[in-house]
């Protein structure tokens, strides 16, 4: 089976992310009213770059190469491409960090609520067992135990599994925000 590295060009151990453009503006969201150097990347371009980086191991080195028509490849606007892309992914990294902190706070709060509910359910269950041994009270007591543990499902899911994808995405954005970017004339 073919390795993913074989599908991309490699320069001195660095994987090249190559993008051919006919105009510089193709890389950016045309609905974004911000100045060129602060523009938001086109969502398809962003997804393309992020997906390539995510496909490789974390230690892989990348370099982004933009191919532009020769008349555009040496213009003044070209100097703004790298900062615009770096700014975009730094912003995405900050958004991911904010999402992580928000999810962590939510998970922590949900955990406290879940633990409090589980504690109450266990205390009530213990009290029910000490008062009566009839079948219907035992069923109710066991139902309390199940409901108490079910209350823990959401916080455990968030804290154990929900935060990792956000952390990984943040690391991906950070890596792209520091990536070397070069513009070359189209061949």
Residue 150 above 90 pLDDT? Answer: yes
Residues 82, 134, single domain; the answer is no
Is the domain of 89 the same as that of 24?
A: yes
**Long-range contacts made by residues 49-56, C-beta under 8 angstroms, separation at least 24?**
49/17, 49/176, 50/169, 50/172, 50/173, 50/176, 52/8, 52/15, 52/17, 53/17, 53/172, 53/175, 53/176, 54/168, 54/172, 55/4, 56/4, 56/5, 56/15
pLDDT value for 27: 82
Residue 48: inside a domain: yes
Given a cut of 60, whether residue 126 has pLDDT beyond it is yes
In this prediction, residue 38 carries a pLDDT of: 58
In a domain, 105, yes or no: yes
Q: Are residues 25 and 86 in the same domain?
A: yes
Mean pLDDT of 7-29: 87
> Sign (positive/negative) of CA torsion 88, 92, 93, 94?
positive
Residues 112 and 89 placed together within one structural domain of the fold: no
Q: Assess whether 30 and 113 both reside in one domain.
A: no
In a domain, 16, yes or no: yes
Region 127-132: mean pLDDT is: 85
Number of domains in the chain: 2
Same-domain status, 69 and 116? no
Do 90 and 109 sit in the same domain of this protein?
no
The per-residue pLDDT for 133 is 81
42 & 111 share domain? no
Find the mean pLDDT for residues 175-187: 92
Tell whether 172 is covered by a domain.
no
Radius of gyration of the chain (CA): 26
| Within a domain: 37 | yes
- Containing domain of residue 48, as a range? 4-95+178-185
Residue 129 within a domain = yes
Give 23's pLDDT tier (boundaries 50, 70, 90).
confident
Q: What does the pLDDT read at residue 35?
A: 53
Average pLDDT over residues 10-16: 90
Residues 67 and 118 in one domain: no
Asked if 28 and 105 sit in the same domain, the reply is: no
Instruction: Identify whether residues 100 and 122 lie together within a single domain.
Output: yes
Instruction: Please check whether residues 104 and 76 belong to one and the same domain.
Output: no
| pLDDT score of 31 | 65
Does the pLDDT of residue 33 top 80, yes or no? no
pLDDT per position as a tens digit, 43-91: 889 999 999 999 999 999 999 999 999 888 888 888 888 999 999 999 9
Residue 41 clears pLDDT 70, i.e. is over it: yes
Position 53 in a domain: yes
Residues 107-134 have a mean pLDDT of: 91
Q: Classify residue 173: in a domain, yes or no.
A: no
Task: Write down the pLDDT at residue 80.
Answer: 85
More confident residue, 98 or 72: 98
pLDDT band at 32; cut points 50, 70, 90: low
- Report pLDDT for 25: 81
């Amino acid at each position: 089976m073919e390795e993913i590295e074989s599908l991309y060009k490699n320069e001195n151990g660095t994987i090249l992310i190559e993008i051919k453009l006919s105009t510089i503006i193709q890389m950016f969201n045309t609905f974004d009213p911000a100045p060129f150097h602060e523009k938001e990347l086109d969502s398809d371009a962003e997804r393309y770059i992020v997906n390539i980086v995510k496909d490789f191991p974390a230690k892989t080195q990348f370099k982004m190469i933009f191919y532009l028509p020769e008349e555009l490849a040496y213009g003044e606007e070209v100097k703004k491409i790298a900062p615009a892309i770096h700014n975009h992914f730094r912003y995405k990294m900050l958004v991911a960090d904010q999402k992580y902190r928000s999810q962590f706070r939510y998970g922590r709060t949900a955990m406290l609520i879940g633990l409090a509910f589980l504690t109450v359910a266990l205390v009530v269950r213990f009290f029910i067992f000490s008062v009566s041994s009839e079948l219907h009270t035992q069923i109710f007591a066991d139902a309390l135990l199940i409901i108490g543990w079910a209350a823990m499902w959401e916080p455990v899911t968030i804290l154990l599994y929900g935060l990792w994808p956000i952390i990984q995405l943040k690391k991906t954005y950070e890596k792209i925000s520091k990536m070397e970017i070069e513009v070359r004339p189209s061949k």
